[in-house]
Structure 1
Amino acid sequence: DRRHITAEDVLALSTLTRARGVEFNIEGNPFAPPREGYPGLLPLCAQTRPAQATLVPDGDGQITSDHGFDFERDGERLRPLVAELKAMGCRVSLFVDAGNPLLERAADVGADRIELYTGPYAEAHAAGDAEAMLALFATAARRAQTVGLGVNAGHDLSQDNLRDFLSNVPDVLEVSIGHALIGEALYDGLDATVRGYLALL
């Protein structure tokens, strides 16, 4: 929606990733309306056919995502959109808070995966008190896996906190790391930073 990336960038990245055999994931709010320069998330996915579409509930006024979906409110609105994305051949992941009591409903609306919002974990880790958060996230991952959902994770993950997270939260399939990776690369270079993350993974 032109806050972090433009539709033109998405089209270029789609071409690049396809040419290089790299998986392409688009993340966005499926409820955000089209506007000048942005056709909407589903039309953009129809144009680019990403391997994965990660749906997030962030509003236009937010700098970045800071919470997961409320399935009580959004579940039925999500169901047809998830079905439409899956008909395009996209794997669908829904952004979810680890403490969401209705986390399992992501499976009911047709999602393949959830992406756990890791902001609270990163904050606790930085404060030196991540034990309770790690237990919460491990429980959330197991709950999701019990109903057949794959588990992704993302937000504020970095080289400082990633190893602890992956050592304690079972069977995380992928992590989304953008801001920290680029920030670290300003000091160490992109090649060294990517290699650092690969070593942690």
Structure 2
Amino acid sequence: MTKLSVNINKIATIRNARGGDVPNVVRVAIDCERFGAEGITVHPRPDERHITTQDVYDLKKVVQTEFNIEGYPDTRYMKLIEDVRPEQATLVPDPPGVLTSNAGWETKKQLELLSDLAQQLKQLNIRSSVFVDTNLENIEFAAKAGFDRIELYTGPYAEQYAENPDRAVDLYVKAAVFAKEVGLGVNAGHDLSLENLKFLKSKIPFMDEVSIGHALISDALYLGLENTIQRYKFLLK
């Protein structure tokens, strides 16, 4: 069964808009797990515009499922990973100022760097995942670098889904099948929603995990957090 990891960045965004501790990021993470989430994802950016470094340390104390920390693998991020030892580290290529992750690694060009990072994570006994698009060469060199999983960047799938679902998913199916063939696990994330998740799952039933934040937290404003998480989980059955 594909696991649901809830990205709680948006909870921190709301909190930071007013300062203080409302809504409480740690409390929301505990509730997400209580409501059925099988993982918690955060992306602590250098400017701390949502999740802060302290949030990561606080969350490590309470997360009982899989803790997934996303980020650009600079010195700050790698020190945080070494300190916290999450179950999974997902490396993304975006520089500090970008609004949201919107592209995958060019793994062939960055093979030396990524191989070194994958080895560091292996030595820490942390599952490694690398954010990629559907280009098979990028997936091939993710495997050569020594990563455990890829996370497929599903932004283009979400953009094209309403117009033509079959065409939107085609390259993702091919990419996921190829990833399995070269020994990689398959995660997916970015702009997945109640509208498009079930179709993706039906076409790639062997996905290990999806990470969903913006749409899920937005849905929770109308449906409630518990109901929303249960709806997403139902689509992944």
Q: TM-score, normalised by structure 2?
A: 0.77
Picking from 110, 123, 128, the partner of 1:92 is 128
Q: Does 1:79 align with 2:115?
A: yes
Once the two structures are superposed, what CA deviation does each residue of 1:135-170 show, in whole Å capped at 9, x if it has no partner?
110000011100100000000001110000010124
Look up the equivalent residue of 1:163 and give its one-letter code: K
Answering whether residue 204 of structure 2 is matched by residue 161 of structure 1, we say: no
Moved >6 Å (runs of 4+)? none
SS in 1 for 2:150: strand
Paired residue secondary structure (1:95): strand
RMSD: 1.2
Gaps of 5+ in 1: 34-39
Q: Deviations over 1:48-83 (max 9, x none)?
A: 110000000011121110010001321111111111
2:61 aligned counterpart, secondary structure: helix
| CA positional deviation for 1:132 | 1.7
User: For residue 115 of structure 1, what is the aligned residue in structure 2?
Assistant: 151
SS of the residue 2:115 aligns to: helix
Instruction: Give the letter aligned to residue 97 of structure 1.
Output: D
In 1: Cα distance, 2:111 partner to 2:49 partner = 25
Counterparts of 1:102 and 1:25, CA distance in 2: 22
2:55 alignment partner in structure 1? 9
Q: Is the contact made by 2:132 and 2:138 (CA closer than 8 Å) also made in structure 1? A: no
Partner of 1:37: none
Q: Which residue of 2 aligns with 1:57?
A: 93
Q: CA deviation at 1:108?
A: 0.7
What residue in structure 1 maps to residue 213 of structure 2? Answer: 178
1:134 aligns to what? 169
Amino acid at match of 1:84: Q
- Equivalent in the alignment of 1:196: 231
C-alpha contact 2:136 2:178 (8 A) present in aligned 1: no
Superimposed CA distance per residue, residues 1-39 of structure 1 (whole angstroms, 9 cap, x where no aligned partner): 21331110111111111xxx31111100103x5xxxxxx
Preserved CA contact (<8 Å) 1:24 1:52 = yes
Cα distance in 2 for partners of 1:162, 1:100 equals 22
Instruction: Report how many residues are paired.
Output: 190
Q: Distance in 1 between matches of 2:134 and 2:219?
A: 26
CA distance in structure 1 between the partners assigned to 2:114 and 2:103 by the alignment: 16
CA–CA distance in structure 1, aligned partners of residues 101 and 204 of structure 2: 21
**More deviation, 114-123/2-11:** 2-11
Name stretches of at least 5 consecutive residues in structure 2 with no aligned partner.
Answer: 1-44
SS at match of 2:65: coil
Determine what percentage of the aligned residue pairs are the same residue: 49
Matched position secondary structure for 2:62:
helix
